[in-house]
Chains A and B, each alone.
Chain A
Amino acid sequence: MPRPSYEQHRAGKAATAAALGRRRGSLVESETDAESLASFSTHLTDSSQTYYPPPTRLSGTPNQHHHQHLPFPGIRQRTFSSTSRESSATYSPAPSSPSAAVGTALGVGVRDGMREKERAERRERREQRRKEKERKSTLLGDKYDSPLRRWLRWMSRSGLSAWSLPVGLAAVLVVKAAVGLGGFSGKDSPPMFGDFEAQRHWMELTLHLPTREWYTYSPEWWQLDYPPLSAYASWLCGRLGAALDPTHFALDESRGLSPPALVTYLRASVLTFEALVWWSAVVAYMVLEGRKGGRSWRSQMTGIMTVLLQPSLALIDNGHFQYNSVLLGLSLWAVIFLKRGQDVAACIAFSLALCFKQMGLYYAPAIGCYLLGKCIHLNGSKGILHLVKLGVATIATFALMFAPWISTDPQPVLWVIHRIFPLARGLFEDKVANFWCASNVAIKWRTWFSVTGLARSTSGLPACNARRPFADDHYPAVQQLQPPCPVLHPSRGNRQAEINHAQLYSHLWRRSRSDCHTTARRAVHLVHVLLPPLVPGAREEHPPPLMPLTIMMSLRGGKEGAARTEEEIWDWGVLLNNVAVFSMWPLLVRDGQALQYVTVTLLWNYVIGYSPLAVEGVLLRTLGLLVYAGIAIIHTLDSLPIAALHPARFPDLYVVLNVLLSFGVFGVAWLWATRKLVEGAWAMGGLSATKSTVKTAG
């Protein structure tokens, strides 16, 4: 029998494989498989004499396989290997073989057809499942594809995975330093200048004066109104700076100075503090979270870069000039310690954060509730001991920070506190996107109420907190009005259950695989989410409230169950970040940061792969598109040099529009966050946390 040419042979094979969509190499694998080697059919094949089929079959039926040399091809041989079965099923006998004709007569073809159909369906289902999996995968899915991920993928493919962190941090450094080349708050704007001058003045003042006089010196010029740790940091900067050039920090004579060398020095000090406190915290948090949640190094790196490149903080700290990153870093370190179950360290870190900037108090209710709840659940002497430990740590930290002002005379400390919470400065200073300012368009709050009275009333209303919300005498009221956080429910029931519960609770943060853990973690985080609408209440400290949300959204794409929620958080997170940057526009344009505002915001959105069109929920997508359209319209109208668009009667028209739009988005986001919080709390155990958690623990 003449041998078919190799080309013919291969063409036949290819045709068969294409017709069946068979997996590549399946034929061969069936041969080499240990299972199929043991099978009957393969055995027979090996014993057959002629290996090559006659050429007539080649032209007729393209599928050649050694199975057709079985003595009784119609009889299906049972093998363990699925691939062998597949191949034998595709066998269709050659007309020249009499035994094959018998097989056809027996109706093998019909049965084969049915099986074929089933198999095709199964294959299709399998394919669908694979596609679904691929779509959801953060590694391969189109939805998650972003320049950041592409870059990380390229790095690890080039064997540079270990270098991605240093390279990423260097890139962040470059971007932030480049932002610092622009203008800063109060540049060339006498008589009072701005935040830059304030910070420089504090350095000068802490450097030259005894500690007692820090908060009382020169009330007419940028008086120190941040807590002591901030003042100590100023002292350190002043000390180092004066070693370089004392004229920059000469007492009283250096007011309003901003030579390039000084600007560079202060910018460098911001970057240094940021790298030491904030970057380290973000890296530590992402690594911790990634390890617990089983996320890859690439996901962790994506998270780190997403948070560090966030535009608001870069524009405020490195552009406008402030030291917010230290506050954020210390708060994040507190959260990290909480996650690790190191509550005392968390207390110290958070107290330091509060001692750096009083805006940290926005986080205080959440962290306080969490710690208090933990003490209650530990129950009895354990709980009290824990409470005492935490209390001692907190008080000791505060005492250490306030030590220079503490004496038998309470007056200095009270004065410091009065400086830090200057209720006399009014409900809001500039136009900011909070409730009070937005509603001021309709209702003139400031003329209705005396200043202090309103501050008192706002501190009782956590939902619409204004700036400096926590006047010291009203602090407990805030706690009482916290949303239903299950950890606050005192446990009831028998003793065993209580112990179980307490154990569960103390381990809650260490468990990685329990659903309970996920929900609990989310619940506590969502307490942070509450904050965005409150926050723009402060002068321009937008970044603090955005921090928890950005941290949460940065680890995008989760396990099956959590994926939807995480998507939602991601979409809301980007929207709120963008709106927050937008709400800072009037401030930034005054600082000469307009170019940086546009570039950094667009860069961040591009790098994280955000597209408002790809948002999943219809409602959120519509909202987002409307908001972006509104932003575009406001910017366009504002920038067009047409006199009719800038009526003299309303000089602040676009600023007010900006405030209204931003406040609207913040308000909706606040409602969403509250809903999420309630949902999370409900999922953890409804109104009675005890029962369900005990069940989970049991």
Chain B
Amino acid sequence: MLGLTKGQRDLFVAATALKVLLFPAYRSTDFEVHRNWLAITHNLPLGQWYYDTTSEWTLDYPPFFAYFSYVLTLPAKLLPKHYSEDLLQLSRVPVEGWAVVGYMRISVLVTEVVLFWSLLRLSGSSYESSPAKVVALAIAFHPGFLILDAIHFQYNGFLFGLMIWSLVGAKEASREACLILWLMRPTTYVRGVLRGSAQLQVSGPLIMLHIYVYLAPAWFIYLLRTYCIPPKTGLTLRLKPLVQIGTVVIGVTAVSLGPFLYLGQGQQLFARLFPFTRGLMHAYWAPNAWASVTLIDRILLQAAKRFHVDLAVSSAGVASTSRGLVGDTNFAVIPDITPLHCFILTGLTQVVQLVPLWQRPSYKAFLQAIAACGFSSFMFGWHVHEKAVMLVLVPLSLLAAEDWNHYQALVVASVSGIIGLFPLLFKAAETPVKMGYSFVWLVVVCGSLRFSVPKPTPTIPSHLLDNLQTLYLSTAPVLLLFTSVLHPVLSLSGHIPPSMEFLPLMLTSVWCSLGLWIAWGRLNWGMWRGGEALPEVLPHHALRESTMPSPLTPSSSQEIIPISPPPYASSSKSKSKPIASTSTSTSASISTTLPQPAVFTPDSDLHHKIRTHQQEYDAKAEVQGGKRKARRGAVEEERDRAGKMSRNQMTERMPYRPLRVHLDGPPGLESRRGSSGKMTYWEVRTAKAEQQARAKVGRIASGRA
């Protein structure tokens, strides 16, 4: 059905049923906000959209969101008249009623389809249990979206759908060598539009919701490096793509802002969109850096009081932070933070994090850059709302299947990010729903990813970090028990004074900010460690049939290493490749004089091929009903091939072993090699000895002994 697999359909149906059951759940004032925007766009002409103040919930999202609201009013006109009039009335007081609620909730469900669709596109045709599919489903059914959209009421699913759509464009375009030709070729028009959507949607989400501004630098650098200043050509600027991208961006911006600028409402628009009068932190502290800073401030204040240290304590700060629920935060000991500080800090971190993308504009680096930009702006931004954590979680989820480090980052960021969202639903009725759903999601997603992401041999710091993280995560139940059961019960029964009302909120944001610090560190570590991590399990045939450079073979890191695809994937290719070539190439390499200790850094091409192989392997596993059976099938097939080979070939051929190959050398060596990637003394020695032995054999063979 609709190109969905059965499993996807099941998930979709179950999640939709749950969201329908959640129709009568708690909804925040955002519900009335969005309804009011529907009313504004329906009843008023364009020129008055940003001036209307009938309700206190004025329109303060960018113009594209206003257009979106207007589109949402269109189906309402088909409803019976008394319903649509009820729904679309401009009123000062909130409008309730089951028809209004039903319409708005259904509009969320329907627009969320964009997210599902773009995720389907992103995960491509790969098999269901492959990490890519798991990641896609993880995002589609993220508890964050359930909490924010289905209960709290917003349109995040739709907006993130657009963002992921643009990622689809980026991913598809990145594979093509010739990028801009689509404009001239009518035949490739359809694909071209998809490719062009990468550019188009850069600006799409931005203009929809301004919190996406934080991600803009990543898109900017990516497009600049891929299209305008590709790394191959040095630093020469290619004007044509620049003009094209510029046209698209300016065009979209013109469509969005143009009408309002034309009407001379620029200033009003800007004032509505960027209200800098708000404080450093939202009412409830978002779990970011400032939450930690506030905690430190509190601790210092207490310490100063206790040890009678004479610190310059600001009295406003003492009053402010103790409540924890205020809009404008002043620190008692630490100097106050201004928007400028936040801006500089965010900008600096983002610039630093964009360097890898500049150096190597690949899709993965792009994803990393998006995650990092979102993360930094969340951590250091001015007046960050806790909802913005989705900007972190979604790109991180996309990266999670890459390697162990990113997987661990996802686990810790998801747990603390989702727990950080819990206080949004402050009523007890939704507590079982939000916790139960998050539990199911975490177990299913993290559990299945854990089995598909290989864990490298731990080094001492990584081992320590993993264990610390586990320790940190194991305190989550305690926190939840306290904030959602113990504290309400004790304060209801009068054991906790009402002045401590802020305690659960403060604990939650401080605890969650700690987790997000860990994830932020992991993400940056992953970016700067350099090189693309290889999966630990290399398919056996890749080793057997490729001319894999031994440490003896001099090879540049840029060399593309050909690998034949798996035998059962396309047997014609593997056949055409004479198997004996392996031996010839090795014998050729023997004659080289001195070994250049070269590190084997596989190209992205190899990487891609390995991925493809794994996906095919998984697909095969599905057909045969289970991986174990597939493995057995592979063995049988291998035997089959052996039977059909000649004796000579059989003796020449390496015995089949489903090896776990460690490209960086044997696993024991992993820890000995420094992060620099140079060969250790031990390896050089082994290589030398091996070369001497080979030379000897060669001498004997040629009769020169």
On whether the beta carbons of A28 and B14 are closer than 8 Å, the reply is no
CB neighbors of A among B435-451 (8 A): 436-437, 439-440, 443-444, 447-448, 451
Is the CB of A166 closer than 8 A to any CB of chain B?
A: yes
Contacts of B640 in A (CB 8 A): 24-25, 27-28
A175 is contacted by which of B18, B571, B575 (Cβ under 8 Å)? B18
Q: How far is the CA of A654 from the CA of B433 in the complex (A)?
A: 35
A178 is contacted by which of B428, B433, B644, B647 (Cβ under 8 Å)? B433
Hey, what's the 0/1 contact readout for B436-478 against A, CB within 8 Å counting as 1? 1101100110011001000000000000000000000000000
On whether the beta carbons of A596 and B21 are closer than 8 Å, the reply is yes
On whether the beta carbons of B440 and A171 are closer than 8 Å, the reply is yes
Is the CB of A9 closer than 8 A to any CB of chain B?
A: yes
Q: A27-B640, A174-B440 are in contact. Are A147 and B447 (CB under 8 A)?
A: no
| Nearest Cβ on chain A to B455's Cβ, whole angstroms | 14
On whether the beta carbons of A177 and B627 are closer than 8 Å, the reply is no
On whether the beta carbons of A178 and B22 are closer than 8 Å, the reply is yes
On whether the beta carbons of B626 and A157 are closer than 8 Å, the reply is yes
Hey, what's the 0/1 contact readout for A140-163 against B, CB within 8 Å counting as 1? 100000010011001101111001
On whether the beta carbons of B639 and A32 are closer than 8 Å, the reply is yes
Among A88-96, A478-486, A597-605, which stretch is in contact with chain B? A597-605
Hey, what's the 0/1 contact readout for A160-182 against B, CB within 8 Å counting as 1? 10010011001101110111111
Hey, what's the 0/1 contact readout for B1-41 against A, CB within 8 Å counting as 1? 00000110010011001101111110000000000000000
Q: How far is the CA of A600 from the CA of B22 in the complex (A)?
A: 12
Q: How far is the CA of A662 from the CA of B21 in the complex (A)?
A: 26
Is the CB of A453 closer than 8 A to any CB of chain B?
A: no
B447 is contacted by which of A9, A31, A158, A271 (Cβ under 8 Å)? A158
Is the CB of B646 closer than 8 A to any CB of chain A?
A: yes
Size of the B side of the interface (Cβ < 8 Å), in residues, is: 50
Q: How many inter-chain residue pairs (CB < 8 Å) link A and B?
A: 140
Q: A160-B447, A599-B21 are in contact. Are A244 and B493 (CB under 8 A)?
A: yes
Residue of B nearest to A265 (CB): B428
On whether the beta carbons of B626 and A243 are closer than 8 Å, the reply is no
Is the CB of B129 closer than 8 A to any CB of chain A?
A: yes
B432 is contacted by which of A27, A174, A244 (Cβ under 8 Å)? A174
Is the CB of B429 closer than 8 A to any CB of chain A?
A: yes
Is the CB of B489 closer than 8 A to any CB of chain A?
A: yes
CB neighbors of B among A261-275 (8 A): 261, 263-264, 267-268, 271
On whether the beta carbons of B21 and A25 are closer than 8 Å, the reply is no
On whether the beta carbons of B21 and A10 are closer than 8 Å, the reply is no
Contacts of B24 in A (CB 8 A): 181-183, 595
Residue among A27, A157, A171, A602 having the largest count of chain B Cβ atoms under 10 Å: A157
Is the CB of B642 closer than 8 A to any CB of chain A?
A: yes
On whether the beta carbons of B433 and A150 are closer than 8 Å, the reply is no
Is the CB of B666 closer than 8 A to any CB of chain A?
A: no
A264 is contacted by which of B20, B427, B637 (Cβ under 8 Å)? B427
On whether the beta carbons of B447 and A245 are closer than 8 Å, the reply is no
Is the CB of A650 closer than 8 A to any CB of chain B?
A: no
| Nearest Cβ on chain B to A472's Cβ, whole angstroms | 42
Q: How far is the CA of A22 from the CA of B129 in the complex (A)?
A: 31
Contacts of A27 in B (CB 8 A): 640, 643-644
Q: How far is the CA of A29 from the CA of B639 in the complex (A)?
A: 8
Contacts of B22 in A (CB 8 A): 178, 181
Is the CB of B625 closer than 8 A to any CB of chain A?
A: yes
Residue of A nearest to B10 (CB): A147
On whether the beta carbons of B17 and A602 are closer than 8 Å, the reply is yes
Contacts of B647 in A (CB 8 A): 51
Q: How far is the CA of A13 from the CA of B645 in the complex (A)?
A: 11
Interface of B is mostly: helix
| Nearest Cβ on chain A to B453's Cβ, whole angstroms | 12
On whether the beta carbons of B23 and A595 are closer than 8 Å, the reply is yes
Q: A157-B627, A158-B451, A181-B21 are in contact. Are A150 and B6 (CB under 8 A)?
A: yes
| Nearest Cβ on chain B to A427's Cβ, whole angstroms | 36
Size of the A side of the interface (Cβ < 8 Å), in residues, is: 58
| Nearest Cβ on chain B to A408's Cβ, whole angstroms | 42
| Nearest Cβ on chain B to A321's Cβ, whole angstroms | 14
Interface of A is mostly: helix
Residue among A31, A170, A268 having the largest count of chain B Cβ atoms under 10 Å: A170
Q: How far is the CA of A182 from the CA of B645 in the complex (A)?
A: 70
Is the CB of B492 closer than 8 A to any CB of chain A?
A: yes
Residue of B nearest to A178 (CB): B21
Hey, what's the 0/1 contact readout for A13-30 against B, CB within 8 Å counting as 1? 100000000001101110
Q: How far is the CA of A474 from the CA of B389 in the complex (A)?
A: 68
Contacts of B13 in A (CB 8 A): 147, 603, 606
Residue of A nearest to B128 (CB): A154
Is the CB of A410 closer than 8 A to any CB of chain B?
A: no
Is the CB of A464 closer than 8 A to any CB of chain B?
A: no
Contacts of B430 in A (CB 8 A): 177, 181
Contacts of B428 in A (CB 8 A): 261, 264, 268
Is the CB of A7 closer than 8 A to any CB of chain B?
A: yes
On whether the beta carbons of B646 and A51 are closer than 8 Å, the reply is yes
Is the CB of A475 closer than 8 A to any CB of chain B?
A: no
| Nearest Cβ on chain A to B94's Cβ, whole angstroms | 17
Q: How far is the CA of A177 from the CA of B431 in the complex (A)?
A: 9
Contacts of B437 in A (CB 8 A): 170, 174
On whether the beta carbons of A150 and B7 are closer than 8 Å, the reply is yes
Is the CB of B605 closer than 8 A to any CB of chain A?
A: no
Is the CB of B85 closer than 8 A to any CB of chain A?
A: no
Hey, what's the 0/1 contact readout for B631-653 against A, CB within 8 Å counting as 1? 00000110110111111010000
Residue among B436, B451, B636, B645 having the largest count of chain A Cβ atoms under 10 Å: B436
CB neighbors of A among B517-571 (8 A): 571
Contacts of B128 in A (CB 8 A): 154
On whether the beta carbons of A159 and B447 are closer than 8 Å, the reply is yes
Q: How far is the CA of A173 from the CA of B636 in the complex (A)?
A: 46
Hey, what's the 0/1 contact readout for B221-258 against A, CB within 8 Å counting as 1? 00000000000000000000000000000000000000
| Nearest Cβ on chain B to A572's Cβ, whole angstroms | 25
CB neighbors of A among B394-442 (8 A): 427-430, 432-433, 436-437, 439-440
Is the CB of A6 closer than 8 A to any CB of chain B?
A: yes
Contacts of B451 in A (CB 8 A): 158-159
Q: How far is the CA of A385 from the CA of B627 in the complex (A)?
A: 57
Q: How far is the CA of A542 from the CA of B648 in the complex (A)?
A: 76
On whether the beta carbons of B636 and A25 are closer than 8 Å, the reply is yes
On whether the beta carbons of B429 and A7 are closer than 8 Å, the reply is no
CB neighbors of A among B608-642 (8 A): 625-627, 636-637, 639-640, 642
B637 is contacted by which of A24, A173, A599 (Cβ under 8 Å)? A24
On whether the beta carbons of B429 and A260 are closer than 8 Å, the reply is yes
CB neighbors of B among A439-468 (8 A): none
Q: A147-B10, A244-B489 are in contact. Are A260 and B443 (CB under 8 A)?
A: no
A600 is contacted by which of B21, B429, B443, B575 (Cβ under 8 Å)? B21
| Nearest Cβ on chain B to A650's Cβ, whole angstroms | 26
On whether the beta carbons of B436 and A177 are closer than 8 Å, the reply is yes
Is the CB of A52 closer than 8 A to any CB of chain B?
A: yes
Q: How far is the CA of A29 from the CA of B469 in the complex (A)?
A: 50
Q: A174-B433, A264-B427 are in contact. Are A25 and B447 (CB under 8 A)?
A: no
On whether the beta carbons of B432 and A177 are closer than 8 Å, the reply is yes
On whether the beta carbons of A260 and B427 are closer than 8 Å, the reply is yes
**Can you add 9 more A-B contacts, CB < 8 Å, to A52-B646, A177-B432, A268-B428?**
A24-B637, A25-B637, A28-B639, A147-B13, A151-B7, A158-B129, A171-B440, A180-B429, A595-B24
Q: List 30 A-B contacts (CB under 8 A).
A: A6-B646, A9-B644, A25-B637, A25-B643, A27-B643, A28-B640, A51-B646, A140-B625, A147-B6, A150-B6, A150-B10, A151-B7, A154-B7, A154-B128, A157-B129, A158-B447, A158-B451, A160-B448, A173-B432, A177-B430, A181-B21, A181-B22, A183-B24, A244-B492, A260-B427, A595-B24, A596-B21, A599-B17, A600-B21, A606-B17
Residues of A within 8 A of B (CB): 3, 6-7, 9-10, 13, 24-25, 27-29, 31-32, 51-52, 140, 147, 150-151, 154-155, 157-160, 163, 166-167, 170-171, 173-175, 177-183, 243-245, 260-261, 263-264, 267-268, 271, 595-596, 599-600, 602-603, 606-607
